[in-house]
Each structure stands twice: as C-alpha cells, then as structure tokens.
Structure 1
Amino acid sequence: MTCVNRRDVGLLALRIGAGAVLAAHGTQKLFGWFGGPGIEGTAQGMESLGFKPGKESAVAAGLGETGGGVLLALGLATPAAGAAAAGGMAAAVSVHAPNGFFNQDGGLEHPGFLGWTAACLGLVGAGRYSLDHATGHRFDRPWMVPVAFAVGAAAATTVIRKRLAAQAAERAEAEPGEDAAGGDIGPE
C-alpha cells in the first residue's frame, strides 16, 4: 500500500466508526432503536435539561446525529456532515461539562471526542473511498468548509445560550429574592 492508500483506508475506517456511533445515538433519540427513549422520551429529557421546546430540540439533536453520522460514514457532504455532528456534540458537551472530563463521572469525554472527530473529518475531507470522491466532490467544495462550520458554530452557540438563559430564568423563578447568579437581592 502506498501512503495515499493508507491515509484513505484510515479515513474510511474512522468515518465508518464515528459515523456509526453518531447515527446509532441519533436513532435512539428519533426512533427508540438500540434501547433508546424515542422522540417523546428524548423530548422529555431535553426539556429537563433546559432545551426548550423539548420536541423540536430532540428532533434537531436526533437528525444532527443520525444525518451527520450517516453522511460521515458514507463520506458524502463531509464538511456539512462534520459540522452538523460537531455542533450537536457541542450542545451535549455543554450538558456534561459540569461533571468534569471523564465519562464514568458523567463528564464530557464521549460527546467531546465524537464532536472533535466529526469536526476533524469535516475539515480534512472523506478521502478517496467516499461518495464525495465518487461524485467529483460536488458536495465537498473548498468554500463549503468555512460556511458549514460557521453555520454549525452559530447554531450550537444559539442553542447553548438559549438553554443557559432558560436555566437562569428557572432559577430566578424558583428562588425569589435572589438574582440569577444566586446572590441575595433582597433589602439590606
């Protein structure tokens, strides 16, 4: 094997592995496959985590993971697929970050690594053994990389900020006489 072939085989293996894991998690959310909660259970979970409205958030997360994962595995529209999956994982990281890094403590390790891998694949491209290559890179043009990642970053930032604002508002309602940061704003 030449170096080019090793690189392309490595990209194929990485795309299939990461894409399959992402797609499996997405189908848990959307369809309840692999012991997942399905769309209604995911919607309830999303609401409890501060993602509102829950059903729309569940659909977006499920589609980002399923669609991004399938497209990554196929090597089709790789910049958009990588950006979509990385954006979804950024939102998941925002949930897990307070628990630290390691997955055994509920930390960000797993979604962080999946998001990082998806982003790297979106940046480097799918390689020779991909539908992007077979279609003459029709859906993988150089201009698509910055556009896809800008849109993905903007969407993830919006979702995360909206979640944090909703959580702050809930805390303020639950604790009258305190500000959103937990400080007493009552009379001295």
Structure 2
Amino acid sequence: MDCVDRRDVGLLLLRLGAGGVLAAHGAQKLFGWFGGGGIEGTGQFMESVGYHPGKASATAAGLAEAGGGTLLALGLATPAAGAAAAGAMAGAAAVHVPSGFFAQSGGYEHAATLGLTAAGLAISGPGRLSVDALFGHAVNRDWMVPAAFAVTAAATTLVIGTRNKRLRRQREGEQETLFDE
C-alpha cells in the first residue's frame, strides 16, 4: 500500500462518520433498531408522506441507507454506495423541504448534509485506508462514478416525481371538495 497521508485519514473519518449515521438510519427502517419503526412502522410513515407502496418504499430507503452507509464506512464499491445513499437522502429531503432548511424546524438540513457527503465521497473515492484500495479498486473505477449517479438520478427523479404528482393530485382533489361544499 502506498504511503498514507492526512487526506486518507480525513476520507476515512468522513466515511466512518457519514457511513455510520446512514447505516444506523437504515437499520431503524429495516429492523426497528435504535428506536426506529422497522419496515411496518416506516412503511406507514412512507405512505403518510406520499411514498407508495409504503413497505416497498421503506425497504428501498432502508437498503440504500444501511447498505450504502455500511459500504461507505468500509470504503467498498464507493461510487455505487455514495450514489445510493445520496439518492435516499434526496428522497428524505423532499419530505422536509416544506419545513425549510434548518433541522430544528423540521427542515432538510440533515438529509442534505448526509446526501452531499455521500455524493462527495463517491466522487472523491475512499482513499487508501479502504477495502476498495485493498482489492485494487475493482469496484471503484472512474467510469463507475457517472454510471452510478446516472442510475441513481433516474430512479430518484422517478420516485420523487411520482410522489410529488400524487401529492399535487391529492391537494387539487381536496380543493375541489372544499369548493363543492
């Protein structure tokens, strides 16, 4: 292994911090750990904020967060892990946008920070203190970065767009009902 420098240590800390938080968030959704709702409770929440079907949405978000976070922490398949986690955080941010930016008022600050950190790690790479480096970057090639982000962007756009369309239709239906009374 080449000489490790402070950049590698910094990337390791970023990966462990962001990856650990993402993995814990995903474990809340998937297993109900750390006070989370598990698939059942998270699925109900997902339905309430416009992501249908709820259980499938909870599973997808949980896998992207837990899987992406774990892989980021390890520094394994970093482009795919970072892109998946960033996509999950975009979906979370979409829920919080109406509350503004800051987390103290229910805003998207936390989701944006995690998503941008995951995206930055996907682009920068994991550094030398990683499983990717140990295995010769077999699943961390330059071409994988745009490919991972293209797939994630397409899926995220479809999911959030469908949610927004559903919520818009619900609001319009409620407005029509108010005028009919």
User: Could you say which TM-score interval applies, normalised by the shorter chain?
Assistant: over 0.9
Query: How many residues are treated as equivalent by the alignment?
Result: 178
Residue 4 of structure 1: how far off its partner (Å): 5.2
Q: How does 1:46-85 map to 2 (within 5 A)?
A: 46-85=46-85
Q: What's the CA shift string for 1:61-80, capped at 9, x where partnerless? A: 00000000000000000000
Q: TM-score, normalised by structure 2?
A: 0.94
Q: How does 1:90-105 map to 2 (within 5 A)?
A: 90-105=90-105
Structure 2 spans left out of the alignment, 5+ residues:
none
Residue 173 of structure 1: how far off its partner (Å): 2.8
Q: How does 1:96-175 map to 2 (within 5 A)?
A: 96-175=96-175
Task: Note if contact 2:80-2:144 (Cα within 8 Å) is conserved in structure 1.
Answer: yes
Task: Note if contact 2:99-2:105 (Cα within 8 Å) is conserved in structure 1.
Answer: yes
Structure 1 spans left out of the alignment, 5+ residues:
179-183
- Report SS of the residue matched to 2:176: coil
- Report SS of the residue matched to 1:52: coil
Letter in 2 for 1:39: I
Structure with bigger helix share is 2
Letter in 2 for 1:117: T
Partner of 1:29: 29
Residue 171 of structure 1: how far off its partner (Å): 1.9
Q: Root-mean-square deviation (CA), in Å? A: 1.5
- Cα distance in 1 for partners of 2:132, 2:20 equals 18
Q: What's the CA shift string for 1:117-142, capped at 9, x where partnerless? A: 00000000000010100010000011
- Cα distance in 1 for partners of 2:104, 2:119 equals 24
- Cα distance in 1 for partners of 2:113, 2:96 equals 12
Task: Note if contact 2:4-2:129 (Cα within 8 Å) is conserved in structure 1.
Answer: no
> Percent identity of the aligned residues?
63
